[in-house]
Amino acid sequence: MISVRNVLVGLAMAFTAYLAARGLWWTGPVPVQEPIVVIAALGLYLVTTWLCLFWEPLRAAPREVDGSLPPGVPRGPSKLPAIAAALALACAFLVPSAISVAVGPASRTASFATWYLGGIGALMTIVIVRRRAWTAWIGIAALGVASMIWMGPANALGLGLVGSVVWVASAQLLLRSMDRAARDTARLAQLQRAASAWQASQVGRQRERRLQVQEALEVAGPVLARTVSSGGVLSAEDRLEARLAEGRLRDEMRGPRLLDDDVRTELERARRRGANVTVLDEGGLDGMDEESLAIIRAQLADTLRSASSDRLYIRTSPHETVAVTVVGRSVAGAGWSDEDAVDLWREIAHPHVD
């Protein structure tokens, strides 16, 4: 499968192989003193470089439900395993000195003896891309010290040390820019999902408000029409219907999840006998399925059917086991007071539906 990552890995592999191949191009009047050491150093370099290119950690990065990476997890190349990083650092310390000793003093500035300036630089570039910045810079420092000792500062800087430092610095800056862009992209995607969810919730609320307005017009429309037609002079029966219409509207707005036909019938019956009824859904039924709500409504209707209190308070409960609390109070004396008797207390438990 052709991808950007595969292309970059292939280019890195080919480039490091080319740099290592330069070390085998032994030309010139002075032969290499220790060819076996040169070949061993080249083998160590190639094995280490390709290990750093292809060795991936076994533990996969955590992902979101939709398969994307969370904001805190870096995108792009994974972190190089510690063993490979240690091997790359050992290579940066050993290869320059091994090559310089093997080729002899007369050939240390020859092209086949200076390949390690670019080779170790390329290796440390791979290491820093694999998120081992300290290891890469320590390796570059080791390369700089060894090359200046064996060939002199001027030759080391002129034959490739500066380019290696520039490679590693550029790779670090590029990686930071990519990580920042990836974080910004992930943050933007989160904001877009949040905006979409907010828009969907607003559409749902608008639809719900339209339904509530339609229900309000159906309930209050006839009462308002009679009020207008009579010039505001209402009979006792019309006042009762207006009070019942107001109660139905309050119930639909404050506790729609508690209502079904049976509950509405019992609430209206309680109001017709003169009871003051308050229904409040304060969030205790969030996330509950329709089957559980049906069980709660049936128990609520049974409770209201047998209630005779002058005041009824129906509230959802945030408690883990109690879904709805029904409290009834009646007049203890000539008027309402804090000492009025509580003649009804019913806690409807959360149903456990298998």
**DSSP of 134-186:** HHHHHHHHHHHHHHHHHH-HHHHIIIIIHHHHHHHHHHHHHHHHHHHHHHHHH
List all residues 6 or more positions away from 95 whose beta carbon is below 8 Å from its beta carbon. 41, 44, 45, 116, 119, 120
Domain boundary assignment for the chain: 4-195, 252-349
Please give the pLDDT value at position 352. 67
Say which residue, 214 or 268, is predicted with more confidence: 268
Span 203-207, average pLDDT:
82
Burial 232-258 (b: 16+ CB within 10 A, else e): eeeeeeeeebbebbebbeebbeebebb
- Distance CA(163)–CA(114), nearest Å, equals 13
Whether the CB-CB separation of 333 and 300 falls below 8 Å is answered with no
Reply yes or no on whether the pLDDT at 208 is more than 80: no
Q: How many residues does the chain have?
A: 354
- Report the pLDDT value the prediction gives residue 104, as an integer from 0 to 100: 78
Contact 220, 245 (CB under 8 A): yes
Above pLDDT 70, what percent of the chain?
82
Report d(CA 314, CA 9) in Å as an integer.
Answer: 68
Specify the higher pLDDT residue, 349 or 338. Answer: 349
| Structure confidence at residue 327 (pLDDT) | 92
Interval 278-309: pLDDT, tens: 998 887 777 788 888 889 999 999 999 988 88
Token duo for residue 81: 């395993």
pLDDT of residue 107: 74
- DSSP, collapsed to helix, strand or coil, labels residue 233 as coil
Measured in whole angstroms, the distance separating CA 122 from the mean position of its chain's CA atoms is 35
129, pLDDT greater than 80 = yes
DSSP, collapsed to helix, strand or coil, labels residue 327 as strand
Query: Which distant-in-sequence residues (6+ apart) come within 8 Å of 35 by Cβ?
Result: 26, 102
Residue-by-residue DSSP string for 178-230: HHHHHHHHHHHHHHHHHHHHHHHHHHHHHHHHHHHHHHHHHHHHHHHHHHHHT
Q: Mean pLDDT score of the chain, rounded to an integer?
A: 80
Confidence (pTM): 0.54
For residue 299, the model assigns a pLDDT of: 92
**CA–CA separation, 346 and 349 (whole Å):** 9
